[in-house]
């Protein structure tokens, strides 16, 4: 009996040890499924479910980013998303988002990845520049999409590895456009840390 008990204890300890060495943790997760209507209030000032706390579980700093719902018509492929940019012209009407500070520091056996699912409307001139602590790590360009071609009628998933993160790093998204209708739509943002 004692032998069996000792074996079970040792087995459980070894399983816990192995599982502690590998695994994935989600540091940030934007979900737009709860949106009901296209909101007129900006996400940082919106009411539930059209605000950051409802969609991501924590507050963010943003300007000119709006909850959008397109379920019918020729824009139905946009579905539920956040839209970067007002419809009005001018740089002051472009979108900006800063995620909450989070631990993006990775050891040699860890990997931190930012995943962004994005598309655009009928106009393909929007750009979303992505930075960590003010240093650009990549961009999403509506004109070239993921494979060198303009965005089609659907979302594309972009992945950016974050290599020089800090314990209190901030990921930011800065929208720009060449034309008034150059808006970017995002239906998912995830920050994932994996122990290899």
The answer to the question of residue 2 being in a domain is no
Instruction: Collect all residues with Cβ–Cβ distance below 8 Å to 24 and sequence separation of at least 6.
Output: 192, 193, 194, 195
Full domain range(s) for residue 36: 23-195
**7: alpha, beta or left, given left = phi > 0 and alpha = psi -120 to 50?**
alpha
Report helix, strand or coil for 171. strand
pLDDT of residue 21: 54
| Token digits of residue 35 | 């949106």
The answer to the question of residue 5 being in a domain is no
The answer to the question of residue 109 being in a domain is yes
The answer to the question of residue 9 being in a domain is no
pLDDT of residue 123: 84
The answer to the question of residue 3 being in a domain is no
The answer to the question of residue 136 being in a domain is yes
**pTM for this predicted structure:** 0.86
The answer to the question of residue 17 being in a domain is no
Q: Give the chain's residues under pLDDT 70.
A: 1-22
Domain count, the chain: 1
The answer to the question of residue 8 being in a domain is no
Give the CATH number for residue 90: 2.60.120.200
């Amino acid at each position: 009996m004692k032998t069996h008990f000792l074996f079970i204890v040792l087995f459980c300890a070894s399983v816990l040890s192995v599982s502690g060495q590998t695994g994935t943790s989600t540091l940030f997760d934007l979900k737009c499924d709860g949106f009901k209507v296209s909101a007129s209030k900006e996400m940082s000032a919106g009411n539930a479910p059209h605000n950051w706390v409802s969609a991501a579980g924590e507050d963010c700093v943003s300007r000119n980013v709006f909850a959008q719902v397109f379920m019918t018509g020729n824009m139905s492929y946009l579905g539920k998303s956040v839209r970067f940019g007002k419809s009005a012209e001018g740089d002051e009407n472009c979108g900006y988002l800063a995620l909450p500070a989070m631990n993006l520091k990775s050891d040699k056996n860890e990997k931190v990845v930012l995943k962004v699912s994005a598309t655009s409307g009928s106009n393909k001139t929007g750009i979303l520049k992505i930075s960590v602590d003010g240093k650009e790590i990549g961009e999403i360009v509506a004109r070239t999409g993921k494979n060198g071609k303009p965005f089609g009628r659907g979302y594309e998933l972009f992945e950016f590895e974050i290599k020089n993160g800090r314990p209190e790093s901030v990921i930011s998204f800065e929208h720009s456009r060449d034309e008034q209708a150059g808006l970017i739509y995002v239906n998912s943002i995830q920050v994932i840390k994996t122990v290899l």
